[in-house]
Structure 1
Amino acid sequence: MLSICLIFFYILLIISLTLFYFSMFFMFNDLVLFIEWDLVSLNSSSLVMTILLDWMSLLFMSFVLFISCMVILYSDEYMYGDLYMNRFIMLVLMFVLSMMLLIISPNLISILLGWDGLGLVSYCLVIYYQNVKSYNAGMLTALSNRIGDVALLMAIAWMLNYGSWNYVFYLESMKGHFEMQFISWMIVLAAMTKSAQIPFSSWLPAAMAAPTPVSALVHSSTLVTAGVYLLIRFNNLFINTNLSKLLLLFSVLTMFMAGLGANFEYDLKKIIALSTLSQLGLMMSILSLGYPNLAFFHLLTHALFKALLFMCAGSIIHNMKNNQDIRGMGAITLSMPLTTSCMNVANLALCGMPFLAGFYSKDLILEMISLDFLNILIYFLYFLSTGLTVCYTFRLIYFSMSGLSNSMSLNSISDEYYIMLKGMMGLLFLAIMGGSMLSWLIMVTPMMICLPFYMKMMALLVSIIGGYMGYEIFKYKLSWELFLLKNYFLSNFIGSMWFMPYLSTVGMNYYILNMSYKIIKTIDQGWNEYFGGQSIFYYSKNISLLNQMIQNNDLKVHFYLFVIFIILILMLMLI
């Protein structure tokens, strides 16, 4: 009898291949299908569900479903023995369906449904392993994404100025209007939160608390790419505006920060998460320069090798009995040759190794940057970030695969998880061939970029230098760790994503709660209480007691009052 994972694997694979065929058909015939489905019609009001099908949405859906089916196949063995396996698979499917809704929506309301669906289900998946760390990570993920949800709600409210939420009708005609500019600011804010750009970057590595198959899905084609996809659709709104310049700055800084931080990280999954952040910065920056097709191209190629990279990392963690520290690995090529081969292919594709998937999109992006009119800071950060990518990749390879084994003396590391390997093999072929196939499909006419020789070779040269630096620095592990100990502030600043997790967690609540505590102690329960409610009550009580004592018809009190009365009369007479 087939397990639930295998049933959904076959269903999603068939749908993915069908969508791929249709995307090719739409692309070659230059078709766009706009479907309006009248859900409810009452008098003159109607509730209409709109669906936009073009080559881009169909191709992206096909890739999402293909990666999802491989992840579900992989989960069959990775999550084996889990008591709530069916619940896990259903959550993953809800996640994928939310992404589908977001991809095919030309309407801000249905985009919000998919967008919120992603946020809600991601929270459920991040807290899947129920412990304090997972709860904190889930809350950080959910609350960071809520900022984007609020921005989308504001954009929806502002779209009421036009009488319809179908943004595709207004992108070109209303481009210069103040209302549309405000909407573009809100959309960019929403995309920055979902794609974890500075200053919302801290949730992305925290979301690693989720099971590894979920990480493979989230970081390749679903949650983090939703923001990029949204900006691809809204690209016409903010090109050549101040907003695009601001987005360019933030995204390039994100790319640089993530590349730098990954060189100081020892957690295997967090290194790969930071590499995702770096690639997202690359996609957002090329979008802000006005190349949506290039961003989409890199989005797809990145999805292929990043899903494979997470699957390989999950297989290694599974074998290492849930140890994620790369310092505890070493020489795993001897025990897991097939997994490490897949991981090396994915890593080299990430670096932009010629003729692997990442090369076609990454090299093209860097050449377009060289061709564009950019200032030296942006240009320098682009190539420095590319060098850092290769640097942390070679560091990862050095720590985990070469040298001597640093794990326990008695271990059972092997390549015997066959179903997990099948899931990885499905993506291995596309991580090698996917880039060239997509470049032939998306860019039918070959792009001829004419540059001077030294600029043409810049990307390759930076990659070689980065790889060499990564190997040389981390070969001397002891001296590197001593350097980090001596420069504690620097390593802590760079290694903690420029203190962003502190600002997003402790910085957001500790100081505010501390101030409110002091206000309560000093004002509400302090002098305000003393001179206010409590004091009035105290004096009123004393006066009423005195009054009550006087009104007790006591002979002694009457005599006292009589004497006081006589004294007062005598005093008045003397005056």
Structure 2
Amino acid sequence: MVVWNILLNFISMVFLLIVSFSSLTISLWQLMFNKCFIIEWEFLSLNSTSVVVTYIFDSMSLTFLGFVTFISSMVLFYSGDYMAGDYNVNRFIYLVLAFVFSMVILIISPNLISILLGWDGLGLVSYALVIYYQNEKSANAGMLTVLSNRIGDVMILLSIGLMMNLGDWNFVLISNYLSKENFVLMMSLVTVAAMTKSAQIPFSAWLPAAMAAPTPVSALVHSSTLVTAGVYLMIRFSDALMDSVKTWLLLISCLTMFMSGLGANFEYDLKKIIALSTLSQLGVMLSILALGFSNLAFFHLLSHALFKALLFMCAGVVIHNVKEFQDIRYMGNLSKFMPLTSMMMNLANLALCGFPFLAGFYSKDLILEVAALNPLNMISFVLYVLSTSLTVCYTFRLIYYSMFGNFNLLSCSNISDESKIMTNPMLGLSCGAIFMGSILSWLMFPEIYMICMTLSMKTLFLLVSLLGALIGYWVNFMTLNFKLFSLKFYMYSCYAGSMWNLPFLSTFNLNYLTLSILGKNFVLMDKGWSEFIGGQGLYSTLAFYSYNNQILQDNNLKIFMKMFLFSFLILLMF
């Protein structure tokens, strides 16, 4: 069994690597010659509409597909050591492959019906991965995750019904029609679906809760698969977004940025801090998309995938070495014991902050400058500035606690970087975190953006980043004063550190009584009166009248009348 697991892991990794390099090579060729391939076949013809299964292979879908499969192959390689002692590692590999397959279907589907297969697949497999460690905490987190994502599934189903008015579900080809005001309801439903998948307010609670999954899954989910599915869907729908939808999407995404950055500064769980940083970057992507720059959102989506996967892998190595503790207060001075992991973790953190000439700098700095150049309202601009400062603040707080603070682990501990199976894929992603930002900017933007700003506005984001770094390091260096300050304003600290009470509100009244009432409603209504009056009742009524109509059509009435008249005449004769 162990040999089969190793072989399955190796074959899957090699296959995903081949798909990755093939996809990236073809996408470069398509980008150079402006080509696009569409494959479709008719699955079902219904009245005047045709249900068509469509797959699109353009430069955007193939580039994203290449990144997803590359990160997935690195995660599988990394899992070979991280999950080595697990008894159900084969189940883990199958679930990861199903997860990647669902994401691939979602990426290459321009049809809203076929995209539902990947969309639902991501929700189902993510639930199975979140409850992988079978305990009460994982079960609660999985239930919160699947119920939150189910709202988005319902929105997609309603959008499919509304798009039937157009006679086609290919949203790439008919985006000009969808941009009209009479389709504002449908675009609002699609936007809400994307918000649930990308965990924007008020659906943010499930993202930190999903950290109950194994760390390799977190590296995959938070970099390029589940949470980015909503952003990718909005990028595909970007031509059809109306100004009214863009306005409230911009406000919600900016609030999500600020809320997650503030919460990360009060969090002590290593994986939850990185999860909140993912939430902040998703807000950055959706906010610049709401301003009308979908290409910048896609650029940041790709660069963020590399350094966020690297950051989660480094966190997994750290957690593995510090006896499975996730509290950063138990860590400290790890740069002395784990220099290679510490170097790569600091590299990923600096890329997240937008340090010059790393991957995050090319996308994040461009997004901030373009956002400041466009006519923003004051609330969104202030939230942009504060979120940028908070990102650097919690990053340097994390670096201080884990890498350079006092060593707070057990006195007899063996901490090292000796696992090459875990460090080798991290080295591959480190190269991506250094070089891919500049490479992608050259490929995606052959014509540079013309940005004209004043000196004060140009240096504003640099100054607030430096200020956030100083606050994040200095305040946490003076740990006693910060703790006393937090205790003095305990209520405000709890409010800021609990994501504005969203986890409580998301599970409000979700207890055994509520679930039992919902179960009875399902039995009595969905499978009872609603079924009798609705679908099954309509089917039975139509079948009954169709059967009687068929009897009439078979001329049985004429035969009956002839026999009746013949019998009546015989009676008259006697």
TMscore range, shorter length = 0.7 to 0.9
* 1:44 Cα deviation from its structure 2 partner: 9.5
Provide the residue aligned with 1:365 in structure 2.
367
Hey, what's the Cα distance between the residues in 2 that align with 1:192 and 1:11?
32
Is residue 82 of structure 1 aligned with residue 86 of structure 2?
yes
Query: Structure 1 pair 83/511, CA: closer, same or farther in 2 (3 Å)?
Result: closer
Q: What is the DSSP-based 3-state SS (H/G/I as helix, E as strand, rest coil) of the residue aligned with 2:355?
A: coil
Separation in 2, partners of 1:35, 1:156 = 20
Distance 2:202 2:51 in 1: 38
2:117 equivalent among 104, 113, 116:
113
Q: Identify the range of structure 1 (444-453 vs 94-103) with the bigger mean alpha-carbon deviation.
A: 444-453
Q: Counterparts of 2:50 and 2:500 in 1: how far apart (Å)?
A: 50
User: Are 1:267 and 2:269 an aligned pair?
Assistant: yes
2:408 aligned partner: 406
How many pairs were matched up? 514
- When residues 483 and 61 of structure 1 are mapped into structure 2, their CA distance, relative to the original with a 3 A threshold, is same
CA shift at 1:510, angstroms?
5.3
Q: Is residue 128 of structure 2 the alignment partner of residue 127 of structure 1?
A: no
> Structure 2: which amino acid aligns with 1:152?
I
Which residue is equivalent to 2:166?
Answer: 162
User: 1:459 offset after TM fit, Å?
Assistant: 1.8
Tell me what 1:59 maps to.
Answer: 63
In 1, distance between residues paired with 2:212 and 2:441? 35
Which whole-Å deviations, capped at 9, do the CAs of 1:238-287 have from their partners, x for residues lacking one? 24x21111011100000000000000000000000000000000101001
**Partner residue in 1 for 2:524:** none
Mapped partners of 1:76, 1:3: distance in 2? 10
2:155 alignment partner in structure 1: 151
What is the TM-score with the length of structure 2 in the denominator? 0.87
Amino acid at match of 2:452: C
**Equivalence map 1:197-346=2 (5 Å):** 197-239=200-242, 241-346=243-348
Report if aligned partners of 1:13, 1:66 keep a CA contact under 8 Å in 2: yes
CA displacement 1:466-520 (0-9 Å, x = unmatched): 1001011111111111121221110110000000000001x24359849989xxx
- The equivalent position to 1:440 in structure 2, one of 416, 439, 442, is 442
> Equivalents in 1 of 2:148, 2:122: separation in Å?
13
Write the letter of the residue equivalent to 1:297.
Answer: F
The answer as to whether partners of 1:107 and 1:167 remain within 8 angstroms in 2 is yes
Identity of aligned residues (%): 60
Alignment of 1:470-549 (within 5 A): 470-505=472-507, 507-509=508-510, 513=514
- Once residues 43 and 150 of structure 1 are traced to their aligned partners in structure 2, the CA distance between those partners, rounded to angstroms, is 24
Shift in CA distance, 336/163, structure 1 to aligned 2, threshold 3 Å: same
Task: Give the distance between the partners of 2:387 and 2:181, measured in 1 at CA.
Answer: 36
Q: For 1:183, which of 181, 186, 196 is the aligned residue? A: 186
1:183-218 CA-partner distances (Å, limit 9, x unpaired): 101100000000000000000000000000000000
Deviation at 1:461, TM superposition (A): 1.2
Task: Decide whether the 8 Å contact of 2:338 with 2:416 is kept in 1.
Answer: yes
Question: What per-residue deviation string (whole Å, max 9, x for no partner) do you get for residues 56-114 of structure 1?
Answer: 00000000000000000000000002111111011001001100100111111111110
SS of structure 2 residue aligned to 1:173: helix
In structure 1, the residue corresponding to 2:57 is in which secondary structure?
strand
Q: Which residue of 1 aligns with 2:535?
A: none
- Structure 1 residue 136 and structure 2 residue 136: aligned? no
Within the candidate set 382, 387, 397, 1:395 is matched to 397
- Structure 1 pair 203–43 and aligned structure 2 pair: CA distance change class (3 A): closer
Equivalent residues of 1:216, 1:307 under 8 A apart: yes
Q: Does the 8 Å contact 2:200/2:253 carry over to 1?
A: yes
Q: 2:367, 2:48 → 1: CA distance? A: 50
SS at match of 1:168: coil
Among 363, 376, 379, which residue is 1:377 paired with?
379
Matched with 1:541 is: none
User: Does the Cα contact within 8 Å between 2:270 and 2:328 map onto a contact in 1?
Assistant: yes
> Structure 1 pair 48/176, CA: closer, same or farther in 2 (3 Å)?
closer
What amino acid is aligned across from residue 461 of structure 1 in structure 2?
L
TM superposition shift of 1:173: 3.0
- Cα distance change, pair 448–43 in 1 and its aligned pair in 2 (3 A): closer
Which of these residues, 443, 467, 470, is aligned with residue 468 of structure 1?
A: 470
Q: In the aligned structure 2, how far is the partner of 1:504 from the partner of 1:170?
A: 36
Residue matched to 1:557 = none
Letter in 1 for 2:128: C
Q: Distance in 2 between matches of 1:223 and 1:478?
A: 39
Measure the CA separation in 1 of the matches of 2:93 and 2:517: 43
Counterpart contact for 2:332–2:405, Cα < 8 Å? yes
Instruction: Please say if residues 49 and 168 of structure 2, whose CA atoms lie closer than 8 Å, have aligned partners that are also in contact.
Output: no
Q: Aligned partners of 1:165, 1:45: CA distance in 2, in Å?
A: 9
In structure 2, distance between residues paired with 1:90 and 1:515? 33
Distance in 2 separating the partners of 1:203 and 1:514: 19
Whether contact under 8 Å (1:40, 1:46) holds in the other structure is: yes
Q: Which amino acid aligns with 2:95?
A: L
- Determine if contact 1:181/1:237 at 8 Å carries over to the other structure: no
Which runs of 5 or more residues in structure 2 are unaligned? 519-574
Alignment check: 8 A CA contact 1:286 1:365 kept? yes
> What amino acid maps onto 1:213 in structure 2?
P
Larger radius of gyration: 1
Deviation at 1:3, TM superposition (A): 2.7
Per the normalisation by structure 1, the TM-score is 0.87
Superposed CA deviations along residues 507-537 of structure 1, whole A, max 9, x for unmatched, are 24359849989xxxxxxxxxxxxxxxxxxxx
Residue 455, structure 1, aligned to residue 418, structure 2:
no
**Compared CA separation, residues 54 and 516, structure 1 to 2 (3 A):** closer
What amino acid is the match of 1:65?
T
The 3-state SS of whatever aligns with 2:132 is coil
* Counterpart code for 2:458: K
Aligned counterparts of 1:202 and 1:336: Cα–Cα separation in 2: 33
Instruction: Give the aligned partner of residue 26 of structure 2.
Output: 22
Q: Distance in 1 between matches of 2:307 and 2:204?
A: 22
Measured after TM superposition, the shift of residue 432 of structure 1 is 0.5
